[in-house]
Every structure is written in C-alpha cells, then in structure tokens.
C-alpha cells in the first residue's frame, strides 16, 4: 500500500523544505502543493545545477512524477509560465503529463500586485499580490483558474492544457495505493490562524491546510513531518524572541562572500550581531523570493513544540546542521520570560509574545565540517547531543538530518517514516 505524507515548515518558513521534498520525491508518484503562491521560494541543488521554484513543486525536476497545484493556491499565470520556460531552457520539459493545476485555484492579477505594493509594506510582504488575492477569494469576488482559461489571451491559452480536477487525481492516486508527497510552503508560525498575526501569510501552510487545499480527507494522511532549521530565521517584521542582533547589513557586509576570522572570533566571544552574521553567511540566509537578509536566531523549542501540536507531527526533519559548525557555544530557547514570569507555553496573545524574552540552555558546539557525514554515528558527539536535546524538547523523533545543500548531503535516520 502507498502512503500519503505531508511535509510542513515548523518555523517562519525558509526551513529548507525544497531540498527535503526533492530528496523524498524519488519514491513518490504524486507531488502536490496546497497553499500560498509565488511568495514561496524553494531552492534545490542537484550537482552543479541550481533550481529556484516559487509555484511549481520541487518534484517537477524528477521524471515520471505528476505535480499538482491545488485549489488552495493563488497562482500568477505569468510567473508560472516563466518558471516553466526556465526549466525548459535547462532541459526539463513541463507538460500535461507531469503538471496538473486545479481549476478552483485563484488567479493573482496585476491589480492584486499593485495593491500589495501599496499596502503590504507595513507587515513586510513579498509584494507578490498574495494577500489581496486571498482577500478577493474570501469576499467571493475572485477569479478562479477555470474562469481565467476561458479568456482569449496568450497566457490563458498556455495555462489551459494543465487545468484538471486535481482533487480527483489526488484521491484516485491514494485509493490506487500510490505514494503521494504533499509539499507545504511558508511555515507554521506564518499561518493565518495559528501564526504570529498580523505578521503572517494569508493562507494555512499548516497540515490542516493540506486537506482543504487539495480536497482530501484527514483520514487519508498517513504521516506529517515538520522541517526545522537547526536554528531559526525570519523574513519581514514581527516578534522573534531568540533573534540574534540585526539583519540589516551594511553595503560592504552584503558584498562579503565569506566570513572573516575576526567575525568568527567575535561570535565566539558572545557578540550577538556576529553570531547572527555567522548563521546568515554560512547558511546563505537571503530570501529566495525577495533577496532580503533573513533575521537569524537560536533554535526556539517553545515555538517548535507549538508547531508539533498544531500540525500533529509524527517526525522531525532538521536542516542546516552544518551551519552551526565553528560556533563554540550553542543555545536553545527552552522557556520564555513574560512580565517576569517563566513559561513553556507558546502565547496565543501576540502582545504577550512580543514581550517574550528567551530563557536559554547552553550546549557545546563543534568545529568539524559536516558535509561529508552519512550516518548519525559519524556526527561529532556535540552535534549528536544537540539533536537529541531538540528531539527531547519537542517530543517527536528526528527522521532526517540535512548536513549540506545538495541532495546527497542527507542523513536518513528513520526511512520507515516515509515511503
């Protein structure tokens, strides 16, 4: 029997889901995306080739897979066709055989983008028209893909062949015992209902959104795995308790391709800005969609446990463990202090969350480069202890650890959690 697996982001997005979905796609027949639009950015590196996706699922570069854009998405036809064209130039053909678009997904228009540029700056949106499009959807005045393809223009004609009843395709695949991999965009803390409102996206990137965004029932999902960086990043505005210094780089710093020895020394002396700089530079923490420098911070186990509960996670995937190399002391946020009181509960009141000060546990770091590691036992003992501590705090087993950006730089701990 096949399995249906949902992959979600456990933090504020940018957790490295694109690489993980690419890694898992090998054994899936269907790869589906269920929410968001071109505000997402997934980067996949295969050998010397680098792929950047905003709308297409990462599985599109694998032959023999059907990729689905679900009804919960908002789609800019121009952006979609540009992505398809870029793939064609790299030798990857996208056609009806490997891409299906829900006719019930909504269309992002130029008017949506213009409105987003006018009003979205206050919360740090990507200016891709996502919020205005979802606003029109909820107000029942939006344009669905089914309506769009009836128009007489070049974009409509090019999109038309891809449009299918995708809920039927997804349910048929599940009933026929195929492996279905469901790909989330953004992250739990950006969820419109469960995230740090109002500094959130306009959809439900949490696991529940997979059901409504694809038209499948919750009983058809076998497992939900959450992707977490070994630290935390955030793009845009909003509270971030474990943030390390400012992400606003000087022009000179932005041009730097590598860290200096002085940067490392200052980070290891406990200078927060330089710890953040080490994470940002070593992790290449710049937005795939916007190019903005990401805000970086220590791993937040309180927010992580919240993500476990909201999504019902059955396993964890830890990415970018290699980025922590060269730091002598690592920290994990294990509690918040709010108005002088310590708590391990994630606040539902965002005014309270904005006041939260992190309470840290310190762990030793390591110097060893991790990109060649293939098994858990090959990791430095300090890295093993760090992972076990995260596993213990979140109460869910770690199934995969990523130690580099390429497909092969992956340690598979629990293959039975997937296909």
Catalytic residue positions, numbered = 14, 42
Are 8 and 400 spatial neighbours (Cβ–Cβ below 8 Å)?
A: no
Give CA–CA dist 153/364, Å, rounded.
60
Handedness of CA 325, 330, 334, 336 (dihedral sign): negative
Q: Which of 321, 313, 295, 297 is CA-nearest to residue 389?
A: 321
Give CA–CA dist 255/243, Å, rounded.
22
Alpha helices in 208-247 (DSSP H): 208-214
Longest pairwise C-alpha distance within the chain: 63
- For residue 27, give Cα distances in angstroms to 5, 64, 179: 11, 11, 7
Q: What are phi and psi of 398, to 5 degrees?
A: -85, 125
Q: Which of 52, 129, 126, 67 is CA-nearest to residue 101?
A: 67
Give CA–CA dist 160/5, Å, rounded.
29
Pairing relationship of beta strands 66-69 and 30-33 according to DSSP bridges: parallel
Q: Which of 20, 35, 30 is CA-nearest to residue 60?
A: 30
- For residue 100, give Cα distances in angstroms to 67, 95, 108, 160, 305: 6, 9, 18, 10, 35
């Amino acid at each position: 029997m096949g399995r249906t697996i949902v992959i979600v982001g456990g933090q504020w997005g940018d957790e490295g889901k694109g690489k993980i979905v690419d890694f898992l796609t090998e054994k899936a027949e269907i790869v589906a995306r269920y929410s968001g639009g071109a505000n997402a950015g997934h980067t996949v590196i295969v050998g010397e080739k680098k792929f950047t996706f905003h709308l297409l699922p990462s599985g599109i570069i694998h032959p023999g897979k059907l990729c689905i854009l679900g009804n919960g998405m908002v789609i800019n036809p121009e952006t979609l066709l540009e992505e398809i064209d870029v793939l064609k130039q790299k030798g990857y053909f996208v056609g009806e055989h490997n891409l299906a678009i829900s006719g019930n997904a909504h269309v992002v228009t130029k008017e949506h983008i213009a409105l987003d540029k006018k009003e979205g700056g206050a919360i740090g949106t990507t200016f891709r028209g996502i919020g205005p499009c979802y606003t029109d959807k909820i107000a029942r005045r939006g344009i669905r893909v089914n309506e769009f393809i009836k128009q007489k223009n070049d974009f409509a004609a090019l999109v038309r062949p891809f449009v299918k009843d995708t809920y039927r395709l997804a349910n048929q695949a599940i009933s026929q015992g195929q492996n279905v991999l469901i790909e989330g965009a953004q992250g739990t803390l950006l969820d419109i209902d469960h995230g740090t409102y109002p500094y959130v996206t306009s959809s439900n990137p949490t696991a529940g959104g997979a059901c409504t965004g694809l038209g499948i029932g919750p009983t058809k999902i076998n497992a939900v795995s959450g992707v977490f960086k070994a630290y935390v990043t955030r793009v845009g505005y909003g509270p971030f308790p474990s943030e390390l210094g400012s992400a606003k780089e000087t022009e000179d710093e932005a041009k730097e391709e590598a860290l200096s020895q002085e940067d490392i020394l200052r980070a290891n002396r406990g200078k927060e800005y330089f710890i953040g700089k080490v994470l940002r530079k070593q992790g290449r923490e710049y937005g795939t969609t916007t190019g903005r420098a990401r805000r970086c911070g220590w791993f937040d186990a309180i927010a992580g446990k919240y993500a476990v509960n909201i999504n019902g996670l059955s396993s964890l995937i830890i990415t970018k463990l290699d980025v922590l190399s060269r730091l002598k002391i690592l920290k994990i946020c294990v509690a918040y202090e709010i108005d002088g009181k310590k708590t391990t509960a994630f606040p539902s009141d965002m005014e309270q969350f904005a006041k939260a000060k992190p309470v840290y546990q310190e762990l030793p770091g390591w110097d060893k480069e991790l990109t060649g590691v293939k098994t858990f036992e090959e990791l430095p003992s300090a890295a093993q202890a760090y992972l076990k501590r995260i596993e213990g705090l979140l109460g869910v087993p770690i199934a995969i650890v990523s130690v580099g950006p390429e497909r092969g730089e992956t340690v598979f701990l629990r293959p039975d959690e997937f296909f």
